Amino acid sequence: MKKLIDFLSSLHFSLWLLTFLIGWFVWAIVLTASGYFETFQQMNNHLMPDWLSISRGKSPLIRFWFFGLCAIATALGINLIFCSWNKFLKMTARRMNRPAMLMLAIHIVFGLVILGHFGSLMVGFRNANVRLRQGESFELQNEYRVRADAIHFVNDVSVLTKPIKAMTSDEFSFESNFVEVSLYKNDLFLKSGRLSFLKPLVLDGIQFTLKNFTPPVSGGKTGANSSSAGTILFVSRNPAKNLVLTLFPLMIIGITVYLVMTWKQPGYQQYSSRPSGGGTK
């Protein structure tokens, strides 16, 4: 039993898991290039329970990949727990030295960060394709509702027939095109704000990300400065987000402090280990 615990807490086991994890992600890249891009995109657009329900009976290979990823993550968690217990708790019980205590704290924070990432897959909500036109509303979970107050599109809307990656800076202004939205709960106004490309908006813990604009409906206005364009938003709520964003910098700071505390100049160990006095033979 002790040998098993020593193995589960060993750096050797950690390195094998990390190597396997890298290979697992490389396999995901290969699968994406082999026609599974939309399946992975669908996975990203839903919470884990929702995606597992939607994909039931479909894409068994991607489901196998996902469960394999969960297995690797679980093994890394086991390694983290046993490493903290077997190496650091025993060490600090014998000698309360600050570097060991700091490394134990780093391991605990790292575990909380991983749990936060896992929580982001399980709780909250995601709506990946909220399509709105000016004045329209969309019902969200937990009795929230988002309304598109204004859609500012200053370019010629005919450019919206192109993929966004094919648009040039002359055809599409990333700075001047934006959407103004309002958030309601139980039909009571909460907050409002503006979002544009690469500038998401957070209202009451709900993040709104502008994915794209859509062309006007048949018979709508066309031409520059048209307000007939629609929009596509990615709306999500992640209760664990603030926890992760707070703990991750703390973990980086802790690692930096640990390196400073344990750093020694080259040759220090050799010099300090020499016996005092004596001469050369």
Q: What is the pLDDT of residues 163-207, one digit of tens each?
A: 877 888 778 888 889 999 999 999 899 999 999 988 999 998 899
Output the pTM of the full model: 0.71
Instruction: Answer yes or no: is pLDDT of 271 > 50.
Output: no
**Per-residue pLDDT tens for 33-89?**
998 998 998 888 888 888 888 888 788 999 999 999 999 999 998 988 888 777 666
Task: Quote the CA–CA distance of 176 and 168 in Å, as a whole number.
Answer: 14
